Each structure stands twice: as C-alpha cells, then as structure tokens.
Structure 1
Amino acid sequence: MRIGLKEKIGYGIGDVGFNFYWANISAFLLIFYTDTMGLPAAAVGTMILITKIIDAFTDPAMGAIADRTKSRFGKFRPYLLFAAVPMAAAGVLTYTTPDLGEGGKLIWAYGTYSLMMLMYTILSTPYSALSGVITANSQDRTTLISFRFIAAFTGTTLVNYFTLDMVKWFGHGDDKLGWQLTMAAYGVAAAIMFITVFFTTRERISPPREQKSAVMGDIRDLLDNRPWLVLFALALIIMTTIVMRAGASVYYMKYYVGQADLTGAFLAVYSIALAIGAACTPLMTRFIDKKKLMMLLMAAVGVLSCVMVFVPKDAIWLMFGINTLIGFFLGPKSPLAFSMFADTADYTEWKTGRRATAMTFAAATFSQKLGGAIASAVIAWMLAAMGYVANEAQSGASQLGIVLLLTVIPGAIALIAAFVMRLYTLDDETLARVQTELLARKSKV
C-alpha cells in the first residue's frame, strides 16, 4: 500500500520537535555549559561522553520494550503521546543553572543531561522504528524518511537561527533565565508535534505471528547482520562529523572570525542546505544505488571540509559558500541511513524469520548519540588543551584548534565514512530479492 502526503507530513513533523532538542545539544549545549553555567571545558567533555554509558543500556532496553508493546494504538505510537510533556520538563532542567558551586553544577549537569537523554530515548526510539512499519515499499520508505529529515533540518534551521536571539529576548540580559524560557517554549512546541505524529500515522507491518524471541536473541540477530553492523559504524562516524561541525561553528564565528552576530545566519544557511540535500534524496536514489550515493556524498564532504581550512577569517562569502555546499552534501546522509536501517530490519526477518524493528533503530540511535558525544567531548578536550578561556580573546593555539575542529578533523572523519561504506553488502538488487521473498512468504500465511 502506498502512503499519502498527509501521513508523510504528519510523520515528518515529529522531527522538527526532536531537533528543538538535538540541534540545541549539537550547536549550543557545550557553549551553554562553558560560557553560561561556567563549567570547565574538559570536565564538560568528559561528562558528555560518560553519560553515553547510560545510553548503552537504555537504548537497546527501550528498543526491546517498544518491540514487545501491545496496545490498541500499536507498538510505537503510544510513546509519542505519553512522553512528550516529561521530555519538555527534562529539557528545561538541563538548561537550568543552579545556584551552586562548580562541583554542584557539574553534578547537576550529569543528572539533568542524563535525564534529558533518557526521555529523548523513550520518544525517539519508537519514532524511528515507526518509519519501518508504516510501509514496506523501499522507495516509499526513502520518501517518508526524506520528509522526516526535511522537517528535521527545518527544526535545526529554526534552532540555529533563533535560539541565541530568543535567549537574549527572554532573558533581558540574564542568559540563565533566557535559556530556561527558551527551552520551555521549544518543549511546548515539540510536545504538540509529537502528539500530531500519533494522530496522523498508522502501523501496518507486524512481526511474523509465530515469532517468539528473547531480547538477547534480537541483539544476536543484529550482531549477525553485516549490513546493519556497517551502518552502525557509519552512523557513529558521520554523526561525529555533523555534531563536531555544528558545535565548533559557534566557537568559530565567535572567537576566530570575531563576528558572533553572524552565528545564527551561518548555521541557518547551513541547515537550509541540509534540508535541500535531504529533499533531493528520493530523486538521487532513483538514479544512484544507496551505497554508491553515500560514498560519493561523504567523499565530497571530506574534501570540502579540508579545503575550508584555507579560507581566511575575513572571506565571509567564501566561508558561507563552502559551508553551504558541505551542508547540501551532508543532507541526504540522514534519510539514506535511516532508510537503510529499515532495509536491514527486512534483511534480519528474511535471514532469521524474526523481526525486531525498534531494536534495530534503538541500537542505531545509540550509535548516533555516541558519535555526537564523541564529537562534543573532542571539541571540549581540544579547547581545554589549546588554552581556551570562556568569553575572552583566544590565543593563537586556541584559534587554530577551533579552525581544525570545523574543517580538517571532521573532513578526515567523513573520508573514513566513505571508505567504511564500501563494506555494505545490501545493495539495491539484493534488497529487491529480499523483499520479494518476504512478500511471498507472507502471502502463503
């Protein structure tokens, strides 16, 4: 069954809500901790990475819970209805600066950030898995997920462009209050969007009726699924590139270029390019195999990122131009990867007779969050090592570190991603055979 435009838009709008959180984490959480809460950069980097240990357990646990959920609303949709408000509260707490000493603030950061990411997992794992059960058509999946990431990059654009101004407007000079109220506004808007997903989508694909599998069996199935393993590594590597570029951009414009007022425009134009790239994905996949397309895109991102290191700080138009091209080539990555994750769920069912859609996406989500945490930690540790001092003019070494974090380092990581993609075996021809055989099996039941 082909799905309609209303359902595609309804599903996609959920990722605007998710990016009211994720885009803030990627671009602004680190600088909030260092420049507003006043925490040491190195301590923040360590905190962000250590909290991923919790995700190592909560992501697959949530996947297992969602796969085994039974309700009249389906397996995945109920979580979008009931977890929206707690997510909003966790976001406000994370961006709250308590009246404590440095040690107390750091403990607060550990606790609230962990809570926010737990709530994010409870919402995002079922949401991602939902894309794998709305339709079985591979091209429709790519289109559906492209709608999702067009919405995601729209949310990212809004966050990147308006957040710092919202903080100033709500705070009236008090950034601590400004961040709280900004996240409250985002939380209310996101909750409305999550509930919209609940009311506009349907779950159409179910596991085989006779399926009875333990959680460890689901995990073993994933570890025995080579295409999924490649995507797991790829998601980690590429998310490291994306978050490193987003997080470093704020420092780059403020401390290297010396024009902090251009940060919103710099990130917003980049986000628009990401959205355009995502929108072009279904067209690209009609002519180029997903595997080859991903390799070409990541190679282009790697080369352009490395070229950007040579752009002088006063060449604003050239800086914006190269960054926009990088955004366009990075844009298709997300819809491609998530469409391919849904394909690997089909592959597992074809190979084993068992299907664990949420577990497939939960482990993928963990990979992305780990990649984002690694990126933020590397930024924080490198800033500390180069002598970064918040809200002060930076030394030459510190400025060099900031430039490398936006250019050569993520560029090299993107080139590694292009190489890793060579190991992916589920090309279009193989996938077509898998889905044809699955359809034949189900028609016999």
Structure 2
Amino acid sequence: MNAPTVATPAASATTPKARRLANRTMGSYGFGAAAYGVKDAGFGTFLLLFYNQVVGVPAATVGLVIMLALIIDAFVDPTVGFFSDRTRSKWGRRHPWMYGAALPIMLGWILLWNPPQASEPMILGWLFVVAVLVRSAVSAYEVPSQAMAAELSGDYDERTRIMAYRYLFGWAGGLLMLISAYIYFLAPAPGYPNGLLNPEGYKRFAIAGAIFMGVAIMVSAGGTHREIPNLPQPPIERQSLGDAFRELKETVNNRAFVILMLAGICAYTGQGIVYALSNYLYSFVWGFKGITFVYFSVSLFVGVMISFVAAPRIGARTSKPKAAALAAVVGVTLGTLPYWLRLAGVFPALGDPLMIPLLFALLTLATASGVTAYILGASMLADVVEDSEAKTGRRSEGIFFAGGFFVQKCTSGIGIFVCGLILAVAGFPAKAVPGKVPEATIDRLTLIYIVTYTAFVLAAAFFYTRFPFGRVEHEARLAKLAGATVAAEPRI
C-alpha cells in the first residue's frame, strides 16, 4: 500500500497559497529593498562621520541624538504596521502606503545632509527632527513592503528565497551608493585630499540617493501591483482604541516573535557598530585610500552573492534557527580575526602585498555568513505570522514586520550610539588625519570594537537557538489554517 499523503494547502481569504513566485515578481519585489539599502548605508556608514568630522559635533553626542530618534520609531513602526494591516482599498492593504512614501523619503534624505550653519544645539535639533522624518517615511514604505513577504507565498522554503532577494537588492543598493561615494561624490578633490571630509560631496551624495530611493520604491510597488488580487484580505471588525491596543499587546506577546526581536536587536546593533566604525577602521587601522574602498565594497558584495545562493539551500536542508546561530558565530569569528591577529602582531603589516587580499578574503566570508544569518532570521519572522494566526485568529503581518524593521533600525540607532561611546572611550580625536593618530589610540579603538561587536553577535546566536518551531510545525499549521485534509490512500 502507498504511504499516506498530505494535500497541498490551498489559498484562503486569510492564508496565502504555498507557491513559487515568478522571477519578475521576485525581482521587482526585491528591488524595493535597494531604497532601504541606500538609507542604511548613509545612516550607518557616513552619518556619524559627516556630523562628527565634517560638521564638527562630538561623536558621542551625535550617537545619542540618533539613538533618541529611535525612541520615536518604537511608536511609529507598530502604528504603521497596525494601520497597514487594517487598510482596505482597491490597491489592497500594502500598496497605498508604498506609493505614498516615495516623495517624503526623497525630501527628507536631502534635508538630512544639508544641515543649517548654526549653533551646535540647533544642528543637533535639526539632526533629530530630520532623522525622525526620514526613518518614519522609510517605515511607511518598508513595513508594508516587508509584510508582503509573508503574503506572497506560504511555502516554508520560498520565504527564505524571497528574503534572499530582499537582502541581495538591499545590499546591492547600499554598496552601489558606497562605491559611488568613494569614487565620485566623496573622492579626493582640491582642498580635500580626504574626500570624506568634503561637505559639497555630501550634498551631491544626498541628491543621488534620493533619486535612487524614489525609483526603487516606485518600481517595486508597480512591479508587484499585479499580485494584489493574490494577497490575503482578512476581514476587519470595527473596534475601539482600547480594543486595538489589547489586540496589539496580544499579538506581540507571541514567544517566537519576542525571541526573534531579541536576536535581531543584538545582531543589528552589532552590524551598526561595524557600519559606523567602518570608515574609521579602514582608514586608520588598515590605511585604505581611494580605489581600495571600491575594491573592498565589491568584495563585500561578493559575500552577499554567496549568501544569496547559500541561505535558501541551507534553510531547505537544515534547521533555520540552528543555521542562523551557526552563521552568526562564523561571521563574527571571521570578521574579527584580522583585528585579533593584528593586535597579536602576526597579521601582515601595512604595505605587505598579502595584507589586502587576506583581509578582503576574511571579511568577504564574514559578510556571507552574517547576511545568511539575517536572511534566515527574516524568513523565520515570516513563519511567525501563521503561528500567531493559529493562536489569535488574526493575520498581523504588518505588526510583526514593523517589529522586525524597528530592530533593523537598531543598526543606525543603538549601533551608532555604541560606536560614539567607543570613539569617546578610545579617545579618538575629531577631524583626525590618517597616519597621524597615535598607535596606542588605534589599538585601544580596535580592542574595544572587537570585544563589543563579538558580545552582541554571540548574544544574537544564543537567541536564535531558542526559536521554538521549525518546518514540520509550520507546514502542519499552514495546512490546518488553509483547511487542507489528510488523505490516506490504500497501499498496493
């Protein structure tokens, strides 16, 4: 006799069909993440440097202001997620938000890099207000867009593939802006041998980034517009404000969601430290100049490409939680190894022909491992939607991905704040010149960085291992929600 078979879950009004998406849909959906990649690269890599080294505001103060703006995000993100879940229009739940966010993001981005010539308190006030504006506008796009990942397909493995596309385009957008900055916008110019200190370059960088983000958002929203009829449209009941808050509390109390949020806060704070310190480390520790930054950015994208191929395959063959934890540990080990070896005096010195290739190789593999962990974590977040639906009777993609997006903002919130503290504790001078900072200061900065970064990532790995369910539980839950039946066929 044949073994029992399980019917493939069908789509319902609330549960998405387990299906494989067309490449054009996947590509247009993923391309929208390039907008966040541009924003993340700007916030994470250049914003602290710009306001500290160019504008002249103390690093610790800049970091504090950016972290304080994160407090506003804690209210904005779930609000966007909640109302996105409850939006009803001829364009569905998500697309009105996506289309409407493009212009505010573009305007806010330009203002961020053009602070007024004023007193330090006025500049800090400007930074706070505009940072809140930019990140709120990005939330209005990114939260609904990310929520679609759980709606486009209910398939356990396809969701990992969807997230791989998002991370591929997100990193591609960010790295493209980095490369453009290093070879054009912030390249050495008359009067600015270190182009990273050229204020006019940041103005051009801002305009280009604004245009890029606007195009990415509109292409993604337009390219996924045809999928609106296929997305879940759960019924919404009228409720009081108190009922809405009780519903929100019940939703976010989901154990799997809380674990992923804790893992994400640690992981993305660690990433934020790397981003914010990158120009300091590569300029002052490794002596990068000009075209070297470009080659390095390309090597990082090679790492992202490796994760784009590897993450879906790893997720399909093993446990997502364990794989995410292992990838995070491997990533931080490889990423900090050059610094440990340098402090021990056994890494090739500056000028040694082996230094750059070895450094690039280790950091490329570290990037591949780290991004693999992020992709698997995001895929697990999509799986939490059905876990919550089974317990509460509601689909709350917007709320869950609002939490996930808030966690990602820790990259430019807590991460930059911690980075500012690291620079302050290390005694790193403002408007420093590569080659003229005392070696003791460089070593102190390096040691504090690798210890802090490692601690955050190891904490993330621990939380990943505590995620409470996997493939078997998800597929059984999806079948139950979709009304699938189990049919036992007679054995032959």
TM-fit CA distance, 1:59: 0.7
* Alignment-derived partner of residue 294 in structure 1: 324
2:177 pairs with 1:147: no
Per-residue CA deviations over 1:349-384 (Å, capped at 9, x if unaligned) read 011111111011001111221354111111111112
Question: Structure 1 CA distance, aligned partners of 2:294 and 2:270?
Answer: 20
Contact 1:299 1:414 in 2 (8 A): yes
Q: How many aligned residue pairs are there?
A: 443
Q: What's 1:335 paired with? A: 375
Alignment TM-score, normalising by the size of structure 1? 0.93
1:400 and 2:400 aligned: no
What is the letter of the counterpart of residue 215 of structure 1? A
Q: Distance in 2 between matches of 1:212 and 1:419?
A: 41
Q: Which residue of 2 aligns with 1:252?
A: 281
For the residue of structure 1 that corresponds to 2:413, the secondary structure is helix
In the other structure, the counterpart of 1:223 is 252
1:103 aligns with 2:126: no
After TM superposition, the structure 1 stretch with the greater mean CA deviation from structure 2, 203-212 or 248-257, is 203-212
Alpha-carbon distance between aligned partners in 2 of 1:267 and 1:416, rounded to the nearest angstrom? 27
**1:209 counterpart residue number:** 235
Note closer, same or farther for the CA distance 1:401–1:159 as it changes in structure 2 (3 Å cut).
farther
Structure index of larger Rg = 2
| Conserved 8 A contact 2:156-2:471 | no
Q: Which amino acid aligns with 1:320?
A: F
Aligned-partner residue type, residue 56 of structure 2: G
Output the CA distance in 2 between the equivalents of 1:96 and 1:385.
29
Corresponding residue for residue 61 of structure 2: 43
CA separation of 1:181 and 1:346: change in aligned 2, threshold 3 A: same
Q: For residue 172 of structure 1, report the CA deviation from its aligned partner.
A: 6.9
Q: Name the SS of the counterpart of 2:92 in structure 1.
A: coil
Distance 1:27 1:99 in 2: 23
User: Residue 347 of structure 1: CA displacement?
Assistant: 0.7
> Aligned to 1:72, what secondary structure does the other structure show?
coil
Supply the distance in 2 between the matched residues of 1:305 and 1:407 (Cα, whole angstroms): 9
Residues in 1 aligned to 2:459 and 2:284: alpha-carbon distance in whole angstroms: 29
User: Which whole-Å CA distance do the structure 1 matches of 2:137 and 2:190 have between them?
Assistant: 30
Q: Which residue of structure 2 aligns with residue 76 of structure 1?
A: 94
- 8 Å Cα contact 2:54/2:431 also seen in 1: no
> What's the offset of the Cα at 1:246?
2.1
Query: Do the aligned residues in 2 keep the contact of 1:235 with 1:371 (CA within 8 Å)?
Result: no
Distance of aligned partners of 1:198 and 1:360 in 2 relative to their CA distance in 1, 3 Å threshold:
same
The structure with the largest helix share of the pair is: 1
User: Any idea what SS the aligned residue of 2:483 has?
Assistant: helix
Q: In the alignment, which residue of structure 2 is the partner of 1:54?
A: 72
Residue among 173, 179, 187 paired with 2:210: 187
Q: Any conservation in 2 of the 1:218–1:356 contact (CA below 8 Å)?
A: no
Q: 1:345 maps to which residue? A: 385
Distance 1:95 1:347, change over 3 A: same
Q: Which moved more, 1:52-61 or 1:162-171?
A: 162-171
The structure-2 alpha-carbon separation of the partners of 1:25 and 1:172, relative to structure 1 and needing over 3 Å to count, comes to farther
> Which AA in structure 1 matches 2:323?
L
Long gaps (5+) in structure 1 = none
Matched position secondary structure for 2:410: helix
Q: 1:169 to 1:160 in 2, by over 3 A?
A: closer
**Cα distance between partner residues in 1 of 2:288 and 2:134:** 31
Query: Residues 152 and 371 from structure 1, CA distance in 2 versus in 1: closer, same or farther, beyond 3 angstroms?
Result: closer
Q: How far apart, in 1, do the equivalents of 2:265 and 2:289 lie?
A: 30
Q: Kindly provide the CA deviation profile for residues 80-104 of structure 1, in whole angstroms up to 9, marking residues without a partner as x.
A: 2121121011011111132112222
Question: Is 1:9 aligned with 2:24?
Answer: no
Change (3 A) 1:257 1:379: same
CA RMSD of aligned residues (A): 2.3
Corresponding letter in the other structure for 2:442: Q
The equivalent residue for 2:360 is 320
> What is the Cα deviation at residue 291 of structure 1?
1.1
Pair 1:171–1:110, CA change in 2 (3 A): farther
Q: Does 1:428 align with 2:471?
A: yes
1:196 alignment counterpart = 219
Tell me: CA distance 1:389–1:432, structure 2 relative to 1, closer, same or farther (3 Å): same
Aligned partner (choices 91, 95, 120) of residue 109 of structure 2? 91
CA 1:264–1:401: 2 relative to 1, 3 Å: farther
> Which amino acid is the alignment partner of residue 262 of structure 2?
A
The answer to whether the 8 A contact 1:252-1:406 is kept is no
Alignment of 1:24-43 (within 5 A): 24-43=42-61
* C-alpha separation in 2, matches of 1:19 and 1:405: 27
Cα distance between partner residues in 1 of 2:460 and 2:64: 25
Quote the residue 1:18 is aligned against. 36
Residue in 1 that maps onto 2:456: 413
Considering Cα pairs closer than 8 Å and 6+ residues apart, tell me whether 1 or 2 has the greater RCO.
2
Matched, 1:368 2:411: no
Seen in structure 2, the aligned counterparts of structure 1 residues 136 and 180 have a Cα distance that, compared at 3 Å, is: same
Percent identity over the alignment?
23
Q: CA deviation at 1:405?
A: 5.5
Q: Please, what TM-score do these two structures have when normalized by structure 2?
A: 0.85
User: What residue is the counterpart of 2:417 in the other structure?
Assistant: 377
Tell me, in whole angstroms, the C-alpha distance in 2 between the residues paired with 1:442 and 1:104: 64
Q: Tell me the distance in 2 between the aligned counterparts of 1:376 and 1:210.
A: 39
Cα distance between partner residues in 2 of 1:296 and 1:103:
44
Which of 216, 230, 240 is 2:269 aligned to? 240
Runs of 4+ in structure 1 off by over 6 angstroms are: 169-172
